[in-house]
Amino acid sequence: STSTVSTYRPFEKQRRRDYEGKFDPASLMGFVSTASFPSVVDITNGFTTNLLFRQHRKIAILVAPPSFSNASYVSLASRKDARKFAVFTYLN
């Protein structure tokens, strides 16, 4: 039997991502850190991980009241080509 590592993001289009690299600590940590990162990050109550701030990508922030429908923003954020250039966040 072979070992596998998977991450699950219940609110994403691609809910499950499987690891396909070497089983060394640095590679595994890199995979888990990025693969478990959601397409849209809720920063309403703060955000403390360095993963958000140590990005080469720009950070897009949607500031809106909780009643605002952010469906089009989430749709854009879930596109693979858009995530190459920006990290999408929202603040209610």
All structural domains of the chain with their residue ranges: 1-36, 38-92
Q: Of 27, 61, 6, which is closest to residue 52 (Cα–Cα)?
A: 61
Instruction: Taking residues 68-72, report their average pLDDT.
Output: 89
Per-residue pLDDT of 9-32, as tens digits, reads 777 777 888 998 888 889 888 888
Q: Which residues, in sequence order, are CB contacts of 26 under 8 Å at separation 6+?
A: none
Q: How far is CA 37 from CA 1, 51, 60, in A?
A: 28, 9, 15
For residue 4, is pLDDT > 90? Answer: no
pTM: 0.67
pLDDT at 48 over 80: no
